[in-house]
Structure 1
Amino acid sequence: MPAPPTTPTRKVLGRLSLPERTFVADALRTETVGGVLLLAAAITALIWANVPALHDSYESLSHFHFGPEALGLHLSVAHWAADGLLAIFFFVAGIELKRELVAGDLKDPRAAALPVVAALCGMAVPALVYILTNVTGGGSLVGWAVPTATDIAFALAVLAVIGSSLPSALRAFLLTLAVVDDLFAILIIAVFFTSDLDFAALGGALVGLTVFWLLLRKGVRGWYVYVPLALVVWGLMYNSGVHATIAGVAMGLMLRCTRHEGEAHSPGEHIEHLVRPLSAGLAVPLFALFSAGVVVSGSSLGKVFTQPETLGVVLGLVVGKAVGIFGGTWLTARFTRASLSEDLVWPDVFAVASLAGIGFTVSLLIGELAFEGDPALTDGVKAAVLIGSLIAAVLATVLLKLRNAKYQALWAAEERDDDLDGIPDIYEQDDPAYHLRMAEMYERKAAEHRRLAEVAGGAGDGDDGPA
């Protein structure tokens, strides 16, 4: 009697398919540049806010108001950065999520289980750490969501600075994890930080989103149609009481991210390619410039580790993120037919999980929303986000450096292209034509070596003179 078929074992963090590897490489290249700009903007903000001669100018610019008051949009510069520019960031996040759902790792439920479980655990455990810290310390529970977010751009900036050649599977895991993380952060903002709804404005925003969707389905083209409509939808969403960045996510999710016959790129891929540099290179750094400018002193740093709200944020980012993501990944491998790739070990997963503790952009945003009306605690939570992200970055750097030689070897193997056809050799190993090309190449090299040896031998005989 034949044995029943068994479900094949799936590799956790195994090698990506070639199209997915190409997409991940392009996406991470832009995010890495944006992350370096983000890091520079955060440092600039800290210097600007803490140099006595410059502090007043920083405060004046941050609180300078402009915009049409009749439309309810007479906002400060800092407010425009948080609610306006970040809508671009969340628009890109929406496109990323849509692509992952229809063409990426999240399309296959079995493959999606790992990043989804890891992201959920990586949000639940930091929230639990924050809650336990504040319950035992008598603090406020309203900031439970602050340490739940991961900043992919900042994390990749750290990788760029330390020069770690992470294999593409680990980088893709970090990217997919951040996409799922962004989704749940969006849901948290929409559900827990929405109050005083204006149903007329919300209805208008929903009508605008419906028109946006219909125009996309009809194949209408032209930025001059969609950009004004997007601005109207954003303005209505802002006035509705729902956080305005939700409008960006909704429009990103509506874009088609599958290719039709004859298309080199889907509309979603094309627009993401155009907008991602604007998001990573302008919107997010400007948000950081006007959000990270907290006054830092010895006493304020000390309060970060003595106030339960700020201590909960630091512990949530540093401990909660690492334990949650690592634990979720290990549980997925333990209780499913998934196994870790032979090229990696579990400390690699823990290092990447520690790197995910860099929770900058969305953590700062949620901190502002959670402690709105309490400027002192808002600044304290911002300082806690900065300190927690810094500790997580240092810890991840140490862990990644310990394995950097192994990562460099894996990276070199992934990049090797001896036949110079533009496709890494590792993806052609099962192709008979590849082996034929390689055999011909080595035969040419061997023939060239023999010819050079004969020439050298002939030259040597001539130098010896007559016998």
Structure 2
Amino acid sequence: MCAAPRERSVFLGLLPWPERVQVARALRTETVGGLVLLAAAMVALAWANTPWSGAYEHVRDFRFGISTLGLELSVGHWTADGLLTIFFLVAGIELKRELVVGELRPPAAAALPVVAAVCGMAVPAALYLATTTLGSGSAEGWAVPMATDVAFALAVLAVLSTHLPSALRAFLLTLAVVDDLGAILVIAVFFTADLNPAALGGALAGLVVFYLLQRYRVRGWWWYVPLGVTIWALMYNGGVHATVAGVAMGLILRTTRDAGEEASPAERAEHLLRPVSAGVTVPLFALFAAGVSVSAAALGEVFTRPEPLGVVLGLVVGKTVGIFAGAYLAARFTKARLNPDLAWADVLALAVLAGIGFTVALLIGEIAFPDPVDAEHVKAAVLLGSLIAAAVAALLIKRRNGIYRRLWEAETRDEDADGVPDVYHQQTSPGRGSAAGES
């Protein structure tokens, strides 16, 4: 008797209810934070292009801290090396959750978004290198157009007042999580200063202690906060970008719940830190990183110098081609079928939206180009590339918003008012295999 053919998985189908709740909670915070981020970036641009730009530079470059510990930094560096560690800590927690209990746990389900994200990092970097090679420019900024800023992208969606289905939003969030990991690996491996083995050894020892505290279920913030700050300081003095410490601690935090436990340590930490990351950390970084002088001459430099041109092409063209091609090829080879209620045009719109590479792109730009003049050109390219990507994505998404509205209404309808959408009561199986709107 012939075995029944294996049912093909559905790409961008209806999320399982627990995953839907988790994603909705994360996206809600990131959307609000994205709007604050957008406001902070606009304030920075306006401030840096007024007669009071000198005051902006004075505040950004003001130094404070403990010099004897090697921690006397400018305000700009405190936001980039210090506050952004919280952002990467949350990213590490999100990645750990996805790998252990989320959408990336089954290898087959993880393959498609991971391949799409990796291609979305590789193609922009290759396009940047091709542009700078042909233009005899510097290859140092190859990693700048690699990352996606999910908060900024969600802010664009909020401004557009779209009804993007939860599966598309979750796919965007997964892309950004994998992007963040790729970015931090690039920073750790390729953008390190002179290494201090003693300090790095101390940071590693601190991470081991952090792991043991988690392993033996030790509770209490008074253990973890001082230890986390110590690990961060040692990592910074060790010559590795201090944000690596945030990702490392996020990956160590336990994501599974013990018997009788209402929330895991990772869930508690994420619940406390995500609003801080989205509403304070990232906007403050944007305030002191996005303040670039915008003039006709400066914008002309973006398109005439190979480095900023490579950044714009990488974000606008490279991200789109990489993510779309990666998703399409992965779907073909894994035999995943696209949700019949959606089209590949929706994946294309999401790929364009992922070209908004604001926060991490600005961070890598500052690290890759220590010269202030070069850094200003690259920052302008990041802002311009992100703006172009946002505008094109807005056109593509608004064109399909009628379809998105119908799908959104179908997957949120709750006629029996039990708090769970009716579509989940209609499912024949709890897996991700059901497409939106299918019974």
Query: Which of the five TM-score ranges fits, normalised by the shorter chain?
Result: over 0.9
TM-score, scaled relative to structure 2: 0.96
2:374 maps to a residue whose letter is: L
- Structure 2 match to 1:79: 77
Query: Aligned pair 1:69/2:67, yes or no?
Result: yes
Report SS of the residue matched to 2:199.
Answer: helix
Distance 1:430 1:51, change over 3 A: closer
2:92 maps to a residue whose letter is: G
CA distance in 2 between counterparts of 1:413 and 1:264 reads 31
CA distance in 1 between counterparts of 2:124 and 2:200 reads 32
Query: Aligned pair 1:383/2:374, yes or no?
Result: no
Report SS of the residue matched to 1:164.
Answer: coil
CA distance in 2 between counterparts of 1:265 and 1:204 reads 31
Contact 1:300 1:380 in 2 (8 A): yes
Contact 2:312 2:381 in 1 (8 A): yes
2:307 maps to a residue whose letter is: E
Q: Highest relative contact order (Cα 8 Å, sep 6+), 1 or 2?
A: 2
Deviation at 1:7, TM superposition (A): 2.6
Q: Which moved more, 1:128-137 or 1:257-266?
A: 257-266
Q: Which moved more, 1:14-23 or 1:329-338?
A: 329-338
- Structure 1 match to 2:13: 14
Contact 1:129 1:316 in 2 (8 A): yes
Q: Which moved more, 1:256-265 or 1:335-344?
A: 256-265
- Structure 1 match to 2:27: 28
Q: 2:179 is matched with which residue: 181, 203, 211? A: 181
Q: Trace 1:195-214 onto structure 2 (pairs within 5 A).
A: 195-214=193-212
Q: Trace 1:270-309 onto structure 2 (pairs within 5 A).
A: 270-309=268-307
CA distance in 1 between counterparts of 2:171 and 2:273 reads 23
Query: Aligned pair 1:104/2:132, yes or no?
Result: no
- Structure 2 match to 1:464: none
- Structure 1 match to 2:392: 395
Deviation at 1:430, TM superposition (A): 4.4
Deviation at 1:240, TM superposition (A): 0.2
TM-score, scaled relative to structure 1: 0.91
Distance 1:430 1:382, change over 3 A: closer
Q: How many residues matched?
A: 429
In terms of Rg, which structure is larger? 1
Deviation at 1:210, TM superposition (A): 1.0
Deviation at 1:42, TM superposition (A): 0.3
Contact 2:108 2:334 in 1 (8 A): no
Q: Trace 1:59-458 onto structure 2 (pairs within 5 A).
A: 59-372=57-370, 374-430=371-427
Deviation at 1:4, TM superposition (A): 3.5
CA distance in 1 between counterparts of 2:98 and 2:195 reads 32
Per-residue CA deviation, residues 262-281 of structure 1 (Å, 9 max, x unaligned), is: 22222111110111000000
Report SS of the residue matched to 1:106.
Answer: coil
CA distance in 1 between counterparts of 2:193 and 2:75 reads 23
- Structure 1 match to 2:434: none
Sequence identity (%): 66
Deviation at 1:6, TM superposition (A): 2.7
1:45 maps to a residue whose letter is: A
1:112 maps to a residue whose letter is: A
Contact 2:138 2:307 in 1 (8 A): yes
Structure 2 residue ranges without an equivalent (≥5): 429-439
Deviation at 1:155, TM superposition (A): 0.4
Report SS of the residue matched to 1:305.
Answer: helix
Report SS of the residue matched to 2:10.
Answer: strand
Distance 1:430 1:67, change over 3 A: closer
Per-residue CA deviation, residues 21-70 of structure 1 (Å, 9 max, x unaligned), is: 00000000000000001000000000111101x11110101110000000
Per-residue CA deviation, residues 9-28 of structure 1 (Å, 9 max, x unaligned), is: 01111110000000000000
CA distance in 2 between counterparts of 1:411 and 1:162 reads 15
CA distance in 2 between counterparts of 1:364 and 1:350 reads 24
Report SS of the residue matched to 2:351.
Answer: helix
1:95 maps to a residue whose letter is: I
Deviation at 1:261, TM superposition (A): 2.2
Per-residue CA deviation, residues 60-98 of structure 1 (Å, 9 max, x unaligned), is: 011100000000001000000000000000000010010
Deviation at 1:177, TM superposition (A): 0.8
Contact 2:196 2:237 in 1 (8 A): yes
Report SS of the residue matched to 2:36.
Answer: helix
Deviation at 1:366, TM superposition (A): 0.4
Contact 1:8 1:337 in 2 (8 A): no
- Structure 1 match to 2:433: none
Deviation at 1:398, TM superposition (A): 0.2
Per-residue CA deviation, residues 128-147 of structure 1 (Å, 9 max, x unaligned), is: 11111111111111111000
CA distance in 2 between counterparts of 1:263 and 1:219 reads 12
